[in-house]
Amino acid sequence: MIAAAVESLSAASTSGVLLDLSAVVMLLCAFAALGSKLFDRYVAYYALQSIVLAFAAAVVGHALGQVDLWVLAVATLLIKGIAIPVATRRFLLDRLDLRRDVAVSTGLSTSLILGAFLTAFAYLAIRPSTLPHALVASAVVPLSTAIILLGGLCMVVRRHTIAQLIGWLILENGVFLGAITLTATFPFIVEAGIFLDLVAAVLIMITFVSGLAERLATAAAPELRELRH
């Protein structure tokens, strides 16, 4: 049954094409977030990316006939697509009145070029040929690797705590995309646990950021120099 299901996910099938397409849209969202300077754009691109991720999970769930993945798709949509963006907007952006992110260490074009290099690297490092034939829609694995790297890049070139938070969330979306395609049958308890951790992490991070912002008036990481030697 698994073999047949895997067959239906190969690159030529409809679900395979849909999966590839969602992965590409997710990569574009990551690039868009990397190339933006407005806080609410970051959040919007993250929300869009999460909604596409939920769609991708549903596609895989449909193709493989896995009920768990449907559950995860709904949870992704509700939590990552709606709850986290709304919470970030309400508790951080509105309350702290944040608009433009000025704490970037490299120019936008430089970071976009770096992002392009990282994407190329992801394709070189994970060639579809190294993956077993027809196991997954083969473009997705390098794409999700690229999203992971772009999320990391966001965390590195952006110094504001909120931008770092969004960078981490993008990275996490990349991991999740890789997880549902590479290992569609990952045990459900574990995936649910990963989800719970994510929610708790975001809650705690939001608390810290607003606490920091209250005390420092600015929560940009370069201003955090208390602990420098």
Partner 1 sequence: LTALVVLVAALPLLGALAPLALLRARGLGIAIAAGGLGALAAAVAVTVHVERHGPIRALAGFLYVDSLGSFFSLTIAVVVTLAGVGSVAYLRAEEERGGLTPLQLRLYAIFFACFAGLMLASLETGNLGLLWVLIEASTLASAVLVGLEAKASSLEAAWKYIIISSFGVTMALVATLFLYYAASPLALSPNQRLTWPALFTHATLLQHDSLRLAFLLAVIGYGTKVGLAPMHTWLPDAHSEAPSPASAMLSAALLNTGMYAIVRFQAIAIPELGRYTNHVLLVFGFASILIGALFMVRRGNFKRLFAYSSVEHMGIISVALGFGGVLGVYGALLHTLNHAIGKCVLFLTSGELVQRWRTRESSGIVGALTTAPLVGGVLLLGSLAILGSPPFGLFLSEFTIVRAGFRGSSLLAFLLLALLVLAFIAFARSTAAMATGEPEQLEGEASGRQSVVAAVPLVAGMAALLLLGLWIPGGLNSLIMHSIGTIR
| Closer Cβ to partner 1, 105 or 183, answer by number | 183
* Cβ 59 vs Cβ 18: under 8 Å: yes
Cβ contacts of 78 within 8 Å, gap of 6 or more: none
Alpha-carbon span 83 to 212, nearest angstrom? 22
Residues lying near partner 1 in the complex (CB under 8 A): 130, 132, 135, 148, 152, 155, 161, 164-165, 168, 171-172, 175, 178-179, 182-183, 185-187, 189-190, 193-194, 196-197, 200-201, 204-205, 208-209, 211-212, 215-216, 224, 226-227, 229
Distance of alpha carbon 130 from alpha carbon 91, whole angstroms = 45
Residue 77 near residue 50 (C-beta atoms within 8 A) = yes
Minimum distance of partner 1 from residue 90's CB (angstroms): 20
Residue 131 burial by Cβ neighbours in a 10 Å radius (0-12, 13-18, 19+): middle
Q: How many CB atoms lie within 10 A of CB 22?
A: 25
* Closest approach of partner 1 to the CB of residue 179, in Å: 6
- Min dist CB 77 to partner 1, Å, is 21
Q: Which is nearer to partner 1, 14 or 183 (CB)?
A: 183
- State the nearest-atom distance from the C-beta of 53 to partner 1, in Å: 15
Question: Quick check: 93 and 166 in contact, CB under 8 A?
Answer: no
Residue 143 and residue 173 in contact, taking contact as beta carbons nearer than 8 Å? no
Residues in a beta bridge with 220: 160
Work out how close the CB of 115 gets to partner 1 at its nearest, in angstroms, rounded to a whole number: 17
Rounded to whole angstroms, how far apart are CA atoms 180 and 1?
18
Cβ at position 109, least distance to partner 1 in Å: 25
Half-sphere exposure of 85 (CA within 13 A, CB side): 20
